[in-house]
Amino acid sequence: MVRRAKRGTGKAIARRGLMLVLSSPSGAGKTTLSRMLLTVERSIELSISVTTRPRRPGEVSGRHYHFIDRKRFDQLVRDDELLEYAEVFGNFYGTPRKPVERALKQGRDVLFDIDWQGTQQMRERARDDLVSVFLLPPSVGELARRLHTRAQDEKKVIRARMAKAADEMSHWAEYDYVVINRDLDRAFSEVRAILAAERLKRERQTGLTAFVRGLQAKL
């Protein structure tokens, strides 16, 4: 007769959270995949950036952005309180350090929707915690189709996004993983597989030493 092993009844092994960066050209599916992750993955949260940009109708401070003035933003830069920051069309954006570090210590993962420049800065400041994924469209034609299907931008804006895509895609080799978004469900499964594997890395499982010692003590 084959005996089945009893299921473990102990608590989950403590781990340090990770910083998951998703980058892509506009239209490659980054925003959609981010929303899907936040819906399905309970232990991941979205990083909320600070910005000097004026709040738009419908935006909520603390949910979409933390809206601050330029003086406060400059102070955060001087105090090294931002993991990354950049100027975009005259407005400044940045990622606050403290909320991210607090989440990581609590074993929660943090999702970032930033470009390659922000990813480079974060790699310099927090390489051991960073997991970067670059999303590619299956073809230029499909990228153009998706941008037109969204119907959110004028034609000249779409042309500008297509032109910018070439520069953005040139940085694919700087990322840990590359996912080609041929099919949304498949791409989502691949991103979740990356997340699952990275969570199991030995160095992130901070409670592993105590767990193994406990096993050895009972042998």
pLDDT digits (tens, 9 = 90+) for 160-215: 777 777 788 889 999 999 999 999 999 999 999 999 999 999 999 999 999 999 99
Do residues 207 and 53 touch, judged by C-beta distance below 8 A?
no
Q: Is residue 186 a part of any domain in this protein?
A: yes
Q: Is residue 197 a part of any domain in this protein?
A: yes
DSSP state of 66: E
Burial category of 67 from C-beta neighbours within 10 Å (exposed 0-12, middle 13-18, buried 19 and up): middle
Q: Is residue 47 a part of any domain in this protein?
A: yes
Q: What size, in residues, is the chain?
A: 219
Percent of the chain with pLDDT over 70: 87
- For residue 116, give its domain range: 19-207
Pairing of strands 177-180, 130-136: parallel
Cα-Cα-Cα-Cα dihedral sign, residues 108, 135, 55, 60:
negative
Q: Is residue 142 a part of any domain in this protein?
A: yes
Q: Is residue 11 a part of any domain in this protein?
A: no
Q: What pLDDT score does 25 carry?
A: 84
Q: Is the pLDDT score of 121 beyond 50?
A: yes
Indicate the pLDDT class of residue 1, thresholds 50, 70 and 90.
very low
Rounded to two decimals, the pTM is: 0.84
φ and ψ at residue 173, rounded to 5 degrees:
-70, -10
Q: Is residue 6 a part of any domain in this protein?
A: no
Q: What pLDDT score does 151 carry?
A: 52
Residue of 35, 135, 49 whose CA lies nearest to 97: 49
Q: Is residue 107 a part of any domain in this protein?
A: yes
Q: Is residue 85 a part of any domain in this protein?
A: yes
Q: Is the pLDDT score of 138 beyond 90?
A: no
Could you tell me what percentage of the chain is helix, strand and coil, using 3-state DSSP and rounding each to the nearest 5?
45, 20, 35
* Residue matched to tokens 């606050």: 96
Q: Which two tokens stand for residue 63?
A: 């949910």
Instruction: Identify the CATH number of the domain in which residue 108 sits.
Output: 3.40.50.300
Q: What pLDDT score does 4 carry?
A: 46
Number of structural domains found in the chain: 1
Condensed to tens digits (0 to 9), the pLDDT of residues 14-30 reads 999 999 999 988 778 88
